[in-house]
């Protein structure tokens, strides 16, 4: 099957575009004077529509004591009381900031000191004030984590592979934003650029004088996902690389934040922070930053340290700091360093003084990261919160056929369910020998409830998601596919009210659940085979927690189906972390789970249990719209939720459901695609009593493509049934079913 590719993000204001080139080429700014710097039309930037520039400034004091500060700000406004870079004699300090551009396309650099200063400034990228012709990357701030330390040889280079490290996904990344810090007694320069690019003429970090120095760097990745660091110095130098964010490509699995520049403003003015102490910054609602809808802010931090040296660590409030460098400092010197700061759950940022004595602290903000709108407009009735449930012994079984481990082989059938005491059972069977089914308890020391979700990673390893008795969804992925061996359980750490489902968008998996308050959330992989990063609120409220959302791959994303608290079926399109095209499909009063089949052209047919117990269906038309009216599928009154599929043998849609007499009944189309249904018939050739709703599934066996359904009895024993003599020519005649008991699960211990 050809993989689907969801359309990339549309052009939007605030998206990122990479350039690199000079803006100021070694110019002296006299004490107290201001230099106007033209930005638009320079260094590869457009002549109009530039909202902000990522400007890397290098400054060296020339007269007097050689110390002071530069203040950078957009033209057309009064000089703010902020700091952009502190400078000194005999050494170039560097700082990269995202700076708002004035309406005339200029920015200003004011030398707010009594010493002349020599300045270089280079553009390292820009954002737009309006949607451009093409979409650009969007930004994800990260809690700072160390990518690693590298030794860059004298007059040599080293390659760095940041993907999959320090919170950076393993794909869908154009640039990584990180702090580079190091120390050397010998002077030199470090230059960062793509692995397949040419050596630029500017510098990312000057080092020497045995000073611990740092600068924020935007590392553009080459086609191999790496960037290069070149050392223009006579001795090797070791540097630490601490990721603080990354830019996601327009085709990444999840869309990030846009960059919204503001006129620089002061948040903290000369605060005292003791050794080992912390200071909490609250940027929301301050200096042009909105009170909500913000994922992070771009801060510039200035400090003075009177005794010894050390580092400041910046991290989301409510989290634990990592061994990273945000701003370094030396005794009796003022330092400035910029960093994108991810906000904590309370909207705040913590700064830790990891030095040995008290510091004085100033904090300014230059931009914020606007969280993308995830949901559809409109509101729903408020939901009722649901407490975490006890184990549910008779939830349906999840079944699918894994991809073949080798060319010419058949994929293994994978089964999963939870039982009444919280065990999570995983079964594997050769489709040519269903009696080979082997059950393995994979719950470890934890307990689970509800129907688990099974999905395949892009590399073929199986992933299971299940609802832990603690309330959180937990994830476990095979360490190896063949031989099959499980890795560790991972708690995704957010309580959910409904059980969880999963589906694939491009090469990445996305899971969905409803929280206890009735809001719909997505749990995405940000790149193929990556761990799940964290839940995203999709902005859809008022949903039932008794019904799991359903996700179906379509050409332009994932089509979601969910039931609200009034019993109304609703739908929306999910793509790259957001939902759109929200619509209601039914009147109130419905219950149970939906089943959806996919026809060529990504046309969907949904089956549900109506308020009166009849099975109802409706199909999208050629424009993708569901009609207002439901069609009733025969006269059977169902006790459970239907399970439907397209028979790979006949091409007809088949449906099974549990009746009020605890028997499984079957119907199907008389002719392909007509929606004309055979009479319901008993589909059990034995006297087994189902304790769960049936699960119908397609698979490839020794005789070719076919389908079956399974249910479990009151003793958790699995029964499997399959149609015989099914052809496309049969009309009113139903297929004959045969069945068998599958091997029993191991006894509880």
Residue 112 has pLDDT above 80, yes or no: yes
pLDDT at 327 over 90: no
Pairing of strands 157-160, 205-207: unpaired
Rounded to the nearest 5 percent, the helix, strand and coil shares of the chain are 0, 50, 50
Strand order in the sheet with 578-584: 550-554, 557-563, 569-575, 578-584
In this prediction, what percent of the chain has a pLDDT beyond 90?
85
Q: What is the pLDDT of residue 332?
A: 66
Please, are residues 110 and 75 in contact by the beta-carbon 8 Å criterion? no
pLDDT band for 209, please (50, 70, 90 cuts). Answer: confident
Distance CA 26, CA 639 (A): 80
Write out the E strands in 419-525.
424-430, 433-441, 448-456, 462-468, 472-480, 485-495, 501-505, 508-514, 520-524
Strand 603-609, strand 614-619: pairing:
antiparallel
CB 688 within 8 A of CB 707: no
- pLDDT for the residue numbered 380: 42
| Distance in angstroms (rounded) separating the CA atoms of residues 205 and 231 | 10
pLDDT value for 611: 94
pLDDT attached to residue 482: 85
Q: Which helix (H) or strand (E) element contains residue 583?
A: strand 578-584
Q: Of the candidates 221, 248, 275, which is a domain's last residue?
A: 248
Banded pLDDT at 378 (limits 50, 70, 90): very low
- The more confident residue out of 390 and 287 is 287
The mean pLDDT value for 293-315 works out to 90
> Comparing 387 with 257, which gets the higher pLDDT?
257
More confident call, 146 vs 306: 146
Q: What is the DSSP letter of 406?
A: S
The answer to whether the beta carbons of residues 595 and 616 sit under 8 Å apart is no
The residue written with tokens 């087994």 in the block is: 688
Q: Say yes or no to pLDDT of 730 above 60.
A: no
Question: How far is 66 from 535, CA to CA, in rounded Å?
Answer: 50
pLDDT given for residue 116 in this prediction: 97
Which tokens in the block code for residue 398?
Answer: 């999840």
CA atoms of 308 and 327, how far apart (whole Å): 14
| DSSP letter assigned to residue 23 | E
Confidence class of residue 355 from pLDDT cuts 50, 70 and 90? Answer: confident
What percentage of the chain has pLDDT greater than the value 70?
96
Query: What pLDDT digit, counting tens, does each position of 262-289 carry?
Result: 999 999 999 999 999 999 999 999 999 9
Per-residue pLDDT of 697-712, as tens digits, reads 999 988 899 999 999 9
Report whether 735 contacts 719 (CB < 8 A): no
Q: Which two tokens stand for residue 403?
A: 């991809």
Which residue in 306, 356, 168 sits closest to 246, CA to CA?
168
Q: How far apart are CA 230 and CA 203, in angstroms?
A: 10
Q: Is the pLDDT of residue 640 over 50?
A: yes
Residue 559 counted as domain residue: no
Structure-token pair, residue 400: 């699918």
How large is the average pLDDT for residues 649-666? 96
Q: Tens digits of per-residue pLDDT, 558-595?
A: 999 999 999 999 999 999 999 998 999 999 999 999 99
165 HSE (CA, 13 A, CB side): 16
Q: How many angstroms from the chain centroid is the CA of residue 319?
A: 19
- Output the pLDDT for position 125: 98
Asked if the structure places residue 715 within a domain, the reply is yes
Q: Is residue 625 part of a domain?
A: yes
Predicted local confidence at residue 137, as pLDDT: 97
The H or E element containing residue 172 is: none
The values of phi and psi at residue 614, to 5°, are: -75, 150
pTM surpassing 0.95? no
Question: Residue 615: is its pLDDT beyond 50?
Answer: yes
- What are the tens digits of pLDDT across the range 470-500? 999 999 999 999 888 999 999 998 899 999 9
Number of residues written out for the chain: 749
Compute the average pLDDT of residues 660-665.
97
Q: Grade residue 533 by pLDDT with cuts at 50, 70 and 90.
A: confident
| 6-56 pLDDT per residue, tens | 888 899 999 999 999 999 999 999 999 999 999 999 999 999 999 999 999
Residue 729 scores a pLDDT above 90: no
Q: What is the pLDDT of residue 382?
A: 42
pLDDT of 386 strictly over 50? no
CATH number of the domain within which 609 lies: 2.120.10.70
* Residue 373: band (very low, low, confident or very high) from pLDDT cuts 50, 70, 90: confident
Q: Is the pLDDT of residue 3 over 80?
A: no
pLDDT of residue 385: 39
Q: How confident is the model at residue 336, as a pLDDT?
A: 94
* pLDDT level of residue 201 (50, 70, 90 thresholds): very high
Q: Domain end: 207, 226, 248, which one? A: 248
CATH number at residue 220: 2.60.120.1540
- Per-residue pLDDT of 115-153, as tens digits, reads 999 999 999 999 999 998 999 999 999 999 999 999 999
Q: Is pLDDT of 423 > 70?
A: yes
* Domain hosting residue 220, numbered range: 138-248
Q: What is the pLDDT of residue 727?
A: 64
Q: Tokens at residue 46, please?
A: 């457009």
pLDDT at residue number 379: 43
Query: In whole angstroms, what separates CA 229 from the centre of its chain?
Result: 28
In a domain, 743, yes or no: yes
Mean pLDDT of 259-264: 98
Q: How far apart are CA 323 and CA 474, in angstroms?
A: 28
Split into its structural domains, the chain has a count of 2
- Between 382 and 374, whose confidence is greater? 374
Which of 248, 277, 303 is the last residue before a domain boundary? 248
Query: Predicted confidence band at 2 (pLDDT cuts at 50, 70, 90)?
Result: very low
Structure token digits, residue 589:
């009063």
Burial class of residue 239 (count of CB atoms within 10 Å of its CB; 0-12, 13-18, 19+): buried
Q: Is residue 52 part of a domain?
A: no
Question: Quick check: helix, strand or coil at residue 329?
Answer: strand
- Contact (Cβ atoms closer than 8 angstroms) between residue 647 and residue 726: yes
pLDDT, greater one: 702 or 94: 94
Q: Which residues contact 1 (CB under 8 A, 6 or more apart)?
A: none
The answer to whether residue 418 is domain-embedded is no
Statement: residue 377 has pLDDT above 80? no
Q: Which of 172, 144, 171, 148 is nearest to 160 (CA)?
A: 148
Whether 726 is covered by a domain: the verdict is: yes
pLDDT band at 79 (very low <50, low <70, confident <90, very high): very high
Specify if 546 maps to a domain.
Answer: no
């Amino acid at each position: 099957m050809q993989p689907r590719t969801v359309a990339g993000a549309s052009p939007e204001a605030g998206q990122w575009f990479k350039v690199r080139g000079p803006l100021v080429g070694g110019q002296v700014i006299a004490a107290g004077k201001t230099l106007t710097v033209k930005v638009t039309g320079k260094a590869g930037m457009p002549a109009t529509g530039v909202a902000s520039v990522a400007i890397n400034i290098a400054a060296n004091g020339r007269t007097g004591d050689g110390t002071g500060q530069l203040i950078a700000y957009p033209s057309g406004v009064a000089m703010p009381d902020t700091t952009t870079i502190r400078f000194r004699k005999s050494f170039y300090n560097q700082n990269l900031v995202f700076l708002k551009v004035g309406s005339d396309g200029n920015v200003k650099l004011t030398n707010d000191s009594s010493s002349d200063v020599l300045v270089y400034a280079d553009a390292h990228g820009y954002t737009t004030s309006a949607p451009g012709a093409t979409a650009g990357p969007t930004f994800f701030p990260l809690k700072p984590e160390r990518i690693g330390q590298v030794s860059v040889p004298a007059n040599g280079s080293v390659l760095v592979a940041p993907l999959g490290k320090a919170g950076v996904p393993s794909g869908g990344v154009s640039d990584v934003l990180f702090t580079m810090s190091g120390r050397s007694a010998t002077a030199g320069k470090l230059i960062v650029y793509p692995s397949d690019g040419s050596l630029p003429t500017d510098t990312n970090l000057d080092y020497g004088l045995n000073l611990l120095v740092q600068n924020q760097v935007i590392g553009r990745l080459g086609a191999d996902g790496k960037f290069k660091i070149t050392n223009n110095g006579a001795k090797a130098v070791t540097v630490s690389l601490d990721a603080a964010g990354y830019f996601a490509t327009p085709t990444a699995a999840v869309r990030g934040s846009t960059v919204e520049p503001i006129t620089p403003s002061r948040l903290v003015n000369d605060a005292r922070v003791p050794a080992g102490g912390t200071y909490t910054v609250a940027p929301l609602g301050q200096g042009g930053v909105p009170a909500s809808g913000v994922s992070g802010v771009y801060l510039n931090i200035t400090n003075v340290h009177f005794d010894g040296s050390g580092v400041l660590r910046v991290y989301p409030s409510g989290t634990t700091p990592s061994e990273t460098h945000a701003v370094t400092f030396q005794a009796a010197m003022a330092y400035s360093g910029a960093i994108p700061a991810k906000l904590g759950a309370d909207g705040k940022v913590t700064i830790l003084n990891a030095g040995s004595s008290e510091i004085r602290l100033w904090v300014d903000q230059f931009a914020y990261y606007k969280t993308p709108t995830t949901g559809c407009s409109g509101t729903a009735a408020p939901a009722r919160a649901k407490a975490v449930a006890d184990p549910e012994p008779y939830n349906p079984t999840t079944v699918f056929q894994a991809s073949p481990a080798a060319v010419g082989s058949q994929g293994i059938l994978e089964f999963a369910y939870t039982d009444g005491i919280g065990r999570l059972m995983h079964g594997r069977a050769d489709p040519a020998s269903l009696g080979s089914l082997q059950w393995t308890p994979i719950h470890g020391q934890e307990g689970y409830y509800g129907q688990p979700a099974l999905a395949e990673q892009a590399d073929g390893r199986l992933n299971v998601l299940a609802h832990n008795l603690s309330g959180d969804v937990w994830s476990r992925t095979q360490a190896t596919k063949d031989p099959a061996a499980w890795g560790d359980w991972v708690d995704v750490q957010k309580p959910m009210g409904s059980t969880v489902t999963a589906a694939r968008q491009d090469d990445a998996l996305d899971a969905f659940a409803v929280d206890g308050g009735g809001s719909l959330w997505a749990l995405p992989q940000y790149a193929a085979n990556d761990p799940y990063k964290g839940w995203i609120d999709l902005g859809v409220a008022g949903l039932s927690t008794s019904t799991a959302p359903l996700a179906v791959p379509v050409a332009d994303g994932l089509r979601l189906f969910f039931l609200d608290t009034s019993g109304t079926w609703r739908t929306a399109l999910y793509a790259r972390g957001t939902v759109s095209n929200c619509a209601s499909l039914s009147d109130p009063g419905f219950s149970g789970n939906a089943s959806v089949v996919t026809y060529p052209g990504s046309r969907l047919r949904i089956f549900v249990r109506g308020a009166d117990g009849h099975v109802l269906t409706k199909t999208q038309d050629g424009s993708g719209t569901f009609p207002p009216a439901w069609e009733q599928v025969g006269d059977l009154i169902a006790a459970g939720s239907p399970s439907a599929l397209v028979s790979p043998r006949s091409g007809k849609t088949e449906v099974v459901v549990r009746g009020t007499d605890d028997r499984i009944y079957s119907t199907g189309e008389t002719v392909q695609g007509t929606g004309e249904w055979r009479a319901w018939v008993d589909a059990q050739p034995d006297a087994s009593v189902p304790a769960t709703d049936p699960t119908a599934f397609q698979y490839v066996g020794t005789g070719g493509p076919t389908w079956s359904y399974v249910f479990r009895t009151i003793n958790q024993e699995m029964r499997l049934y399959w149609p015989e003599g099914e052809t496309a020519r049969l009309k009113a005649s139903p297929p004959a079913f045969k069945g068998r008991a599958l091997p029993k699960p191991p006894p509880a211990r």
